[in-house]
Structure 1
Amino acid sequence: MIQMKVMNSGAIMGPLYFVAAGALFAGANTAVQGAGMIHGVPSATIAFWQYALACAIVIPLVWRAPWRSDRPLAHLLRVGLAAIGVQFWVAGLAVVPIWQAIALILTSPLFVTLGAWLFLGERMTPPRVLAVLVGAVGGTIILDPWADAFQLSALLPVGAAAFWAASSVVTKELTKSENAGTLTLALLVLLVPINGVAAISSGFAVTASALWLVALSGLLIAAAQYLIAKAYSVADAAYLQPFDHLKLPLNVGLGIIFFGFAPPGMMWIGAAVIIGASAWVMKDEAG
């Protein structure tokens, strides 16, 4: 009975952490687009300062968390995969419309679900698989990503999706022995020098008009990364993936509000499909 209550608690809290993280990521993406597309800050420069500021925010908050880990190679692998994903993503946001980028990132839940099954031994239940696929359909309804002429740059978000999915699988594995604070700090501390090397060619200068956007994105990223780690610590990675699709209406909505980027697809019908699929799988697991 106690074990059932714990599982049901994870089935509710895991998605709540995940959806909250998605909302924060949507805000960070909007800030990144503002800094890159409107103020002309290079994507590598944004990524460096975004994670440097996030690191500065997190260190005081998790100062008392255990620093020692018996799995340094796993941390390095996780961060290396995430770093490549970050570079692909910020580069994509600088040249790809937000709705098209988010539509293509939809492949990430498919990668994570498959990876969790192959490498973590998580259950591949029909509701989990169906919810991920239905969520992808909802995203396509919203965004109609192939309406515009295809550009090679559209593959950048797909690359980000693949590497972030691999990083998520490693994150879930690490939650078996590491807490959320340690996972968040390790990610941010190790990402800063990696992003710094990537930013050497573009420089580290940020225009005064874009400074607040970069700072805001760092704050939101710090909180989002912590909530992602919390979500993976209480629920299966495969179970959480359908809820990743909820970032679609969040990102699209913010894009409309701040940039007037109205997608060509039927947004509200697609959003209803996504929310319905997520609610169904959550009810099935919490059951």
Structure 2
Amino acid sequence: MALSMSSFIAMSVGSRELAAALSIRQVLFFRALVGLFVIALFIRRLWPEIRHLRQFRMHVLRNAVHFTAQYFWTIGVVVLPLASVFALEFTMPIWVAFFAWALLGERLTRARLLATLGGFIGVLVIVRPGIGIVDPAAGLVLLAAMGYGLSLVLVKRLTRENSPGAIVAWMILIQLPLGLIAALTDWRPVHVSDIPWMVVAGAGALSAHYCMAQALRRLDASIVMPVDFLRVPLAALVGYLVYAELIDIWVFLGGAIILLSNLQALRAERRS
């Protein structure tokens, strides 16, 4: 979990630094390109499964959703304080529950409905509509969280016939051309000084998801979620030290409401 949190923050910093010189669409392309080099090391092991094209249409749908969510999330990382981005992203479990009910037929419990209400209140605390001007980027981060939630539910469907390695490989193979097409519409000159940040962003993305998956194999979600919430204060600390971002108490308060709402739902479902 420590490696996962560090990787998520490293990916955020790398993406923000790249976006200072390149377009956000280029950032997504180069993140995927770095992932391609990593996946290439394991392609011989994964190829026998990939060539069967199992659930290919669902792979395309899942990655189109995930790519769009990444685009919105990266805009948030560039525009908003890092702590705000991660706090708003913690609404994702609510969307996972909703899409699991809508697409997989999973039961939407009373505890999860209360978590949804708590998450909505937490978002209002963070963005505080009516007090100053609400940054539109906050809405994009919420859309990204929704997209990530739908993407996770589609991944659950994909695991019925695909291994995790094949799902990640298809993610790179589909999102790389999507990123290239998008990047060509807003291409800017690339310099050698950008390469280290490409590696940080790309490797951080793969490392974050891999370490999170490993943690979930060893720990209950009810344990992982409170630990993962440490990303918010850690992101606030990095934002303060690296970008001189002010630490906003409302972000922590709203994030805590979202976290506790989801944690209470998990505990209630575990007891039942």
**Under a length normalisation based on structure 2, what TM-score does the superposition of the two structures give?**
0.78
**Residue 247 of structure 2 is aligned to residue 263 of structure 1:** yes
Q: Which residue in the other structure is 2:201 paired with?
A: 217
Point out where structure 1 has 5 or more consecutive residues left out of the alignment: 1-15
Distance in 2, matches of 1:105 and 1:200, equals 28
Relative to structure 1, the CA distance from residue 267 to residue 201 in structure 2 (aligned partners, 3 Å threshold; closer, same or farther) is closer
Counterpart in 2 of 1:28? Answer: 11
Q: Counterpart amino acid of 1:213?
A: W
Q: C-alpha distance in 2, partners of 1:221/1:92?
A: 16
| 1:56-101: CA deviation from partner (whole Å, max 9, x where unpaired) | 1123146413323421111111111111112222233333333443
**1:150-179 deviation line (CA, Å, top 9, x unaligned):** 243443223322322222211111112211
- Of stretches 130-139 and 87-96 in structure 1, the one that deviates more from structure 2 is 130-139
Sort the Cα spacing of 1:216 and 1:233 in 2 relative to 1 into closer, same or farther, 3 A.
same
The aligned runs of 1:1-287 (5 Å cut-off) are: 21=4, 23-36=6-19, 39-61=20-42, 63-65=44-46, 66-67=49-50, 68-131=52-115, 134=118, 143=126, 146=129, 148-203=132-187, 205-227=189-211, 247-266=231-250
State the distance in 2 between where 1:79 and 1:265 align. Answer: 35
Q: How has the CA–CA distance of structure 1 residues 252 and 244 changed in structure 2, closer, same or farther, with 3 Å as cutoff?
A: same
Are the structure 2 counterparts of residues 242 and 188 from structure 1 closer, same or farther at C-alpha, using a change threshold of 3 Å?
farther
The residue identity in structure 1 corresponding to 2:14 is A
Cα distance in structure 2, aligned partners of 1:161 and 1:201: 25
Shift of 1:127: 4.1
Distance in 2 separating the partners of 1:177 and 1:236: 24
Which amino acid is 1:158 matched to?
Answer: L
Which residue of the partner structure matches residue 3 of structure 1?
Answer: none
* C-alpha RMSD of the superposition: 3.7
- Which AA in structure 2 matches 1:32? S
1:11 maps to none
Q: Partners of 2:165 and 2:138 in 1: how far apart? A: 34
Structure 1 residues 156 and 249: alpha-carbon distance in aligned structure 2, compared to 1, 3 A threshold: same
Aligned residues: 267
CA deviation vs aligned residue, 1:191-222 (integer Å, no higher than 9, x gap): 00001100002226433333212211100111
Please tell me the residue identity of whatever aligns with 1:168: L
Letter in 1 for 2:245: F
